[in-house]
Structure 1
Amino acid sequence: MTQLKNSISRSQVEQLVRQALSQQLPGTSAPGMQVAPNPLVVNISARHVHLSQEHLEVLFGKGSELEIQKDLYQEGYFAATQTVAIVGPRRRMIPNVRVLGPCRGETQVELAYTDSISLGLELPVRISGDIKGTPGCVLMGPKGVVELEYGVIRAARHVHMSPADCAYYGCANGDSLHLRVDSPGCTTVLEDVVVRENPDVKLEVHIDTDEGNAVDLDHATSVKLYIPESCKCKHS
């Protein structure tokens, strides 16, 4: 039998299939036709407060404990029934800001850009926990007041990943990925999504309220996480 000169090799077929899948299915950009270990979830992280045990007791009374209102997507984390008021310069205030649990070693406030304008604060974009040298504010609870010298940030958009997720997407802790969100009339790519690797987490992207509204996340038809072509990732 005469072999056709224009026949296509198996490797070329696989490459074409991979390219087609990466264009149509969110999160299918990994090589070798690997199956994604976990579904990609994108959630909006609204303004919230993390309290130390010391500040919890100042705001809500001696011996107070956080009470669970709703479990969050990541296991062991929850939205508490407790809320506080945040007061910025010139006594500008945002009431009823949800406290998230469990308690942390240091109190931290995470706000969106529009929140910072409302409070009259100039906030840096930081990864959660990186709060040194940040602005402070006043927290008001039913039993007391806490004046923070620092601890208020705009949280950098980020993605929680397990080692298996990092292997699939070809990235490592601290890398920056792109997130494409397809919404009706509003397809958007969010850059600089910081990878936060931890063996005990589920795959989840966190963006703030402003970003969620901008990309119309509530009506998104697909989301895709990928390494930008210009990225100098640790695994590239």
Structure 2
Amino acid sequence: MSLAPPAPHRAEIEHLVRRALYENLGQPMPRTVRAPNPLLVNVSARHCHLTPQAVETLFGKGRTLTPMKWLYQKDQYAAKESVTLIGPRSRVISNLRILGPCRDLNQIELAFTDAISLGFEIPVRNSGNIKDTPGCMLMGPAGFLELPVGVIRAAPHVHMHPDDAAFYRVKNGDYMKLRVGGACGVTFDRMFVRVSPDFKLEVHIDTDEANACGLSPVTPCELIK
């Protein structure tokens, strides 16, 4: 049975309702409501991206990824399949989730504390920039895969549609700031901007970064040019 298509996110529905209320009341809309889309700040836990060839090596010839849960970005999903990562000195992380669909390179994204527990020294990189990064071994039910490179700590970044980029007056490859409120409020100064017609407005930070600022679903967040 195929996975049902994702329903509209609660934040999208709430954004439309707030806009309609302000318009019906004839009141000026705050900047967050004037924005074309709601801002979501999501926590990206450790995971990996694999090529079709890597999936076959690890899970068997002809095997493909099976969607388990749709993610916020269009056509992106967490797969049912996971692997075991073997790092230096044979330290391991079990059940490392694979995100689909497959890509044209193999990339493992870990948080800083993950790297410490494995004995890695990993650089902060934008997705796809894996030159001169550490490698590792992945183990699946059908085999092993030795990766010479590909282990990174993903740089904080924001996905946005061109309409969002026009609203915030930024372009692909720029940097923004993310101001996080709450009791442990912080400001991330280097939020890499990625713009595509296929993207929805979403910030990705890792588990360490989210824990450091006490991020929760109700924490106020704001993007600043």
- What SS is found at the alignment partner of 1:130? coil
Report the TM-score, using the length of structure 1 for normalisation.
Answer: 0.81
1:102-141 aligned at under 5 Å gives the runs: 102-141=101-140
In structure 2, the partner of 1:53 is: 52
**Counterparts of 1:91-110 in structure 2 under 5 Å?**
91-110=90-109
Summarize deviations over 1:182-211 as a string: whole Å, max 9, x none: 12x211111100000111110000000101
* Distance in 2 of aligned mates of 1:221 and 1:131: 32
Deviation of 1:221 (Å): 3.0
Q: Which runs of 5+ in 2 are unaligned?
A: 1-27
Listed one character per residue, the Cα deviations across residues 49-100 of structure 1 (whole Å, up to 9, x for unaligned) are 1011111011001110100110000010000000101111110111111000
CA distance in 1, matches of 2:181, 2:135: 37
Report the AA paired with residue 195 of structure 2: E
Cα distance in 2 between the residues matched to 1:44 and 1:60: 28
| TM-score (normalizing by structure 2) | 0.85
Q: What SS is found at the alignment partner of 1:98?
A: strand
Aligned match of 1:214: 212
> What is the DSSP-based 3-state SS (H/G/I as helix, E as strand, rest coil) of the residue aligned with 2:102?
strand
Aligned counterparts of 1:62 and 1:127: Cα–Cα separation in 2: 31
Name the CA distance, whole Å, in 2 between partners of 1:169 and 1:83. 37
Is 1:187–2:185 an aligned residue pair?
yes
Q: 2:203 aligns with which of 202, 205, 209?
A: 205
AA partner of residue 181 (structure 1) = V
**In structure 1, C-alpha distance between the alignment counterparts of 2:213 and 2:72, rounded to whole Å:** 21
Amino acid aligned to 2:223:
L
| Paired letter, 2:160 | M
2:4 is matched with which residue?
none
- Displaced runs of 4 or more, over 3 A: none
How far apart in 1 are the matches of 2:90 and 2:218? 38
Counting matched residue pairs gives 199
- 1:220 Cα deviation from its structure 2 partner: 4.0
SS in 1 for 2:101: strand
8 Å contact from structure 1 (residues 113, 154) kept in 2? yes
Q: Partners in 2 of 1:187 and 1:55 — Cα distance?
A: 40
Distance 1:67 1:214 in 2: 33
Structure 1 segment 1-236 matched on structure 2, within 5 A? 21=30, 27=32, 35-183=34-182, 185-218=183-216, 220-227=218-225
Give 3-state SS (helix, strand or coil) of 2:138's partner. strand
Amino acid at match of 1:198: S
* Structure 1, gaps ≥5 residues long: 1-17, 29-34, 228-236
Query: Residues of 1 paired with 2:147 and 2:220: CA distance?
Result: 40
Aligned mates of 2:68, 2:117 — CA distance in 1: 27
Letter in 2 for 1:128: S
Q: Distance in 2 between matches of 1:37 and 1:97?
A: 35
Deviation of 1:126 after TM superposition, in Å, equals 0.6
Partners of 1:191 and 1:98 in 2: CA distance: 29
Q: 1:13 maps to what in 2?
A: none
Counterpart residue type for residue 216 of structure 1: G
Give 1:170 shift. 1.2
SS at match of 2:164: helix
Work out the CA distance in 2 between the residues paired with 1:205 and 1:142.
Answer: 33
